[in-house]
Amino acid sequence: MNRKKRLRKKRLRASLLGLIVIIGITAASFAVRGLGSENKNNEEKPPKEQPQEEPVKEEPKPEVIHDITINIKATGDIMFHPSQIDGAYDAETKTYDFHNSFKAVKDILSDADLAIANFEGTTAGNEVYSYQGYPLFNAPDEVLDAIKDAGFDVLSTANNHSLDTRKAGLIRTVQQINVRGMDSIGTYVEKPQTRVLIKDVQGIKVAFLSYTEMLNGLDSVMSPEDLDTLINIIDETKMKEDIAYAKEQKADVIIAVLHWGNEYARAQTATQEAVADMLFTEGADIILGSHPHVIQPAKTLEYGGKTKFVAYSMGNFLSNQRVETLVPYGMTEEVSKYTEDGVVIDIEIEKKGETGEVSIKKIEYIPLWVYKGKTADGGTEHVVYPIMEYIESKDVDANSKTRMNRSYSDTMAQMNAE
Ligand SMILES: [Zn+2]
């Protein structure tokens, strides 16, 4: 449970307690009065004639439905490459621990009413596949412990790496996410009743849809039936069905998570724009994109008088992609530097108590940058830093600060925000 929720629970408990105390005092005063009149003969003073108190009539009060505001925080691709897996391994205890990567963003994520990201890869165990990175991602289950503890609630699992460890890996990944109390969207253990996840977030009903544009040519590892039912591939008919279902279920907000676009392209494709337009026209409110591994523009758009929001790509949240690792593979520094950039998009949604009207109230951006360095014991560490909190920190070296500065301005320029 996040801090806000706990606080709300506490407040609720406090007001309930208050109510109980008031009832208690009222009951006690009635009891004392009652006792007094029954035992009047024992009293020294003659009983005074007191006008009988009118029983308090409870006027039925009209139920006041308060406005509700929630914050949803969304971020991009979470990937685990070999150097991250090695860096998280403790040879003495033979265990993995990935918490260090999330330590600087935990407070930001835990503070959300709901935090969501794209989990790019699988957790298939290490019996059939070893723990490995690109091109067939398979991370230890412990990555999900760290992701959960960082504050994530929902992971989108429909992406081009969903089938990296085949059907068994796809299924096990969903199970491992779910067993830790997180929801997964976009891939399934078995044919689902509905492809849509509906969650009540503090009284606002949010529907989550998730689809991927590509499967890295691994489509053939699944039977046509499994491909149709266990993973959501971008499909206009299915998307329209899912939005219609969310509306039927009276969802207040419809969020579509899309894995799409061209890798390392800092602008969205015409296809992304067309799919977004279709989704918004049908009734989606928010589109959260990923896959390009760099940040693409975010925009608010008006549809039928309602403000909609699309982030075409939220970049990498955590990975080993960066200048040092991509330039040796032939990528230019100019392109590869953007893979170090991430962002948490903080979307405030309000539901009016009186009218039930739901709207996007505010959108804020928290630019992130992934640090890679050596630990005191010679290991490798990857840490996601919220730039504004760490740009002045003495814990961050000068080179990282220069890179953070570059990252911050480029990310904010893409978000069209100041
Ligand atoms: Zn991808």
Q: How far is the CA of 11 from the centre of ligand 1 (A)?
A: 42
Instruction: Please enumerate in sequence order all residues whose Cβ is within 8 A of that of 207, keeping only pairs 6 or more positions apart, or say none.
Output: 196, 197, 198, 246, 249, 251, 253, 254, 255
In a domain, 21, yes or no: no
Distances (CA, A) of 162 to 301, 316, 319: 31, 17, 17
In a domain, 31, yes or no: no
The three-state DSSP-derived secondary structure of the chain is CCHHHHHHHHHHHHHHHHHHHHHHHHHHHHHHHHHHHHCHHHCCCCCCCCCCCCCCCCCCCCCCCCCEEEEEEEEEEECCCHHHHHHCEECCCCEECCHHHHCCCHHHHHCCCEEEEEECCCCCCCCCCCCECCCCCECCCHHHHHHHHHCCCEEECCCCCCCCCHHHHHHHHHHHHHHCCCEEECECCCCCCCCCEEEEECCEEEEEEEEECCCCCHHHHCCHHHHHHCECECCHHHHHHHHHHHHHCCCCEEEEEEECCCCCCCCCCHHHHHHHHHHHHHCCCEEEEECCCCECCEEEEEECCEEEEEECCEEEEECCCCHHHHHHHCCCHHHHHHHHEEEEEEEEEEECCCCCCEEEEEEEEEEEEEEEEECCCCCEEEEEEEHHHHCCCCCCCHHHHHHHHHHHHHHHHHCCCC
Rg (CA), the chain: 27
Q: How far is the CA of 381 from the centre of ligand 1 (A)?
A: 23
pLDDT at 62: 72
Q: How far is the CA of 131 from the centre of ligand 1 (A)?
A: 18
Quote the longest CA-to-CA distance of the chain: 104
Whole-angstrom distance, CA of residue 76 vs CA of residue 295: 9
In a domain, 348, yes or no: yes
Q: How far is the CA of 324 from the centre of ligand 1 (A)?
A: 20
What range defines the domain where residue 217 resides? 69-414
In a domain, 3, yes or no: no
Q: How far is the CA of 64 from the centre of ligand 1 (A)?
A: 46
pLDDT at 58: 73
In a domain, 44, yes or no: no
pLDDT at 64: 77
Q: How far is the CA of 214 from the centre of ligand 1 (A)?
A: 8
Whole-angstrom distance, CA of residue 164 vs CA of residue 62: 56
- Strand 197-201 and strand 114-119: the pairing is unpaired
Token pair in block for residue 60? 């039925």
Among the listed residues 138, 149, 209, the one whose alpha carbon sits nearest the alpha carbon of residue 180: 149
Q: What is the pLDDT along the chain (418 residues), one digit of tens a residue?
A: 455 555 555 555 555 555 454 554 444 444 434 343 444 444 445 555 555 666 677 777 777 789 999 999 999 999 999 999 999 999 999 999 999 999 999 999 999 999 999 999 999 999 999 999 999 999 999 999 999 999 999 999 999 999 999 999 999 999 999 999 999 999 999 999 999 999 999 999 999 999 999 999 999 999 999 999 999 999 999 999 999 999 999 999 999 999 999 999 999 999 999 999 999 999 999 999 999 999 999 999 999 999 999 999 999 999 999 999 999 999 999 999 999 999 999 999 999 999 999 999 999 999 999 999 999 888 999 999 999 999 999 989 999 999 999 999 999 999 975 4
What is the value of pTM for the model shown? 0.85
- For residues 229 and 176, is the Cβ–Cβ distance under 8 A? no
Whole-angstrom distance, CA of residue 317 vs CA of residue 314: 8
In a domain, 26, yes or no: no
Whole-angstrom distance, CA of residue 239 vs CA of residue 282: 9
Total domains in the chain come to 1
pLDDT at 361: 98
Q: How far is the CA of 315 from the centre of ligand 1 (A)?
A: 10
- Strand 306-311 and strand 316-318: the pairing is unpaired
Q: What pairs with residue 373 in β-bridges?
A: 381
Q: How far is the CA of 118 from the centre of ligand 1 (A)?
A: 9
Q: How far is the CA of 359 from the centre of ligand 1 (A)?
A: 30
Q: How far is the CA of 67 from the centre of ligand 1 (A)?
A: 38
Place of tokens 């006690």: 28
User: Which of 270-273's residues contact partners 24+ apart within 8 Å by CB, and which partners?
Assistant: 271/213, 272/312
In a domain, 366, yes or no: yes
In a domain, 250, yes or no: yes
Q: What is the CATH number of the domain that holds 361?
A: 3.60.21.10
Q: How far is the CA of 8 from the centre of ligand 1 (A)?
A: 37
The phi, psi pair for 276, rounded to 5°, reads: -60, -45
- For residues 340 and 77, is the Cβ–Cβ distance under 8 A? no
The one-letter amino acid code at 143 reads V
Whole-angstrom distance, CA of residue 322 vs CA of residue 300: 29
